[in-house]
Amino acid sequence: MACDGIYEADIFSRQDVIDWIAAKMEKTDDLAQICASLLDECLERGSHDNMSAMIIEFKDGTDYAAEVEFVPGPWYDGEQDKKFQTAYTADALAAGFALEKALALRQVNESKKSSTTG
């Protein structure tokens, strides 16, 4: 992402910026350095406008993704709570817990909590 100071007076076209950055990424993975170098290059090419740029790299995050953690909250059993109960059950199922197991886990968590605070 870049402001118009990068593109003014034919300093760089959008595709030129992409190509320039891609070439730099073949030599280093330091995106901050590449971005700083881009701004320096614009100055060398004659840019007189203010400049700002940000390089965003999207990567596969599966190697640092956290496992799903399900911490069941309190259960409300009233007739007026049917929508809540449906959503609670769906959340438990999405985390791999049947409702009964989720409620049992809630009891275990509450027992642990009261034993450490009491």
pLDDT at site 25: 94
Together in a domain, 42 and 96: no
> What is the 3 state secondary structure string of 35-71?
HHHHHHHHHHCCCCCCCCECCCCCCCCCCCCCCCCCC
User: Looking at the whole model, is its pTM more than 0.85?
Assistant: no
Range of the domain at 90: 66-113
Read off the pLDDT band of 65 (50, 70, 90): low
Together in a domain, 55 and 74: no
pLDDT of 15 over the 80 cut: yes
Q: Considering the chain, what percentage of its residues have pLDDT values greater than 70? A: 97
38: Cβ contacts below 8 Å, ≥ 6 apart: 2, 6, 17, 20, 21, 24, 53, 55
Let me know if residue 13 belongs to a domain.
Answer: yes
Together in a domain, 47 and 78: no
Let me know if residue 118 belongs to a domain.
Answer: no
pLDDT at site 102: 94
Together in a domain, 32 and 82: no
pLDDT of 116 over the 80 cut: no
Together in a domain, 78 and 43: no
- For 18-50, b/e burial (b = at least 16 CB within 10 A) is eeebeebeeeeeeeeebbeebbebbeeeebeee
Together in a domain, 5 and 42: yes
Let me know if residue 26 belongs to a domain.
Answer: yes
Let me know if residue 25 belongs to a domain.
Answer: yes
- The tally of domains found in the chain comes to 2
How many residues does this entry show for the chain? 118
